[in-house]
Amino acid sequence: MTTQFDNVSVVKKANLYFDGKCVSHTVLFADGTKKTIGVIFPSSLTFNTGAPEIMELNAGKCRIRLKGETEWKSFEGGQRFEVPGNSSFDIETLETLDYVCHFVAG
């Protein structure tokens, strides 16, 4: 996992979801790709996806359950998980989660 992104543009306006329980900023790359960098405060939330996503965790702990699955899986800083496009996932953040969301071209 890289520790920084170089030569990017950042959208100043924050993305606020779930009454401020998730806060992120959009990072735009010269090749047209997009990522978001943010935090999810301790909570239980459901996210819907359009494009496939890779969630890279910098710090914190969470449990996730992908749409259609019954089993929860645990993740923490230094790990990542993938979510299919046009789907959803439940997330329970056990500690404030510092993350990067990579949007994968479909």
Name the CATH architecture for the domain at 9-103.
Sandwich (2.60)
Alpha helical stretches, state H, 21-101: none
Averaged pLDDT for residues 2-18: 94
Name the pLDDT band for 95 (thresholds 50, 70, 90). very high
Return the biggest CA–CA distance within the chain. Answer: 41
**% pLDDT > 90, the chain:** 94
Cα–Cα distance for residue pair 27/8, rounded to 1 Å = 7
What Å distances lie between residue 80 and 1, 11, 35, 72, CA to CA?
10, 24, 14, 15
Residue 2: per-residue pLDDT: 77
Q: Is pLDDT above 80 for 105?
A: no
Name the pLDDT band for 106 (thresholds 50, 70, 90). low
Residue 29: per-residue pLDDT: 95
Average pLDDT of the residues of the chain: 95
Per residue in 32-80, pLDDT tens? Answer: 999 999 999 999 999 999 999 999 999 999 999 999 999 999 999 999 9
The residue count for the chain: 106
Q: Which residues contact 3 (CB under 8 A, 6 or more apart)?
A: none
CA dihedral 85, 30, 23, 102 (to 10 degrees): 30
Beta bridge pairs of residue 2 = none
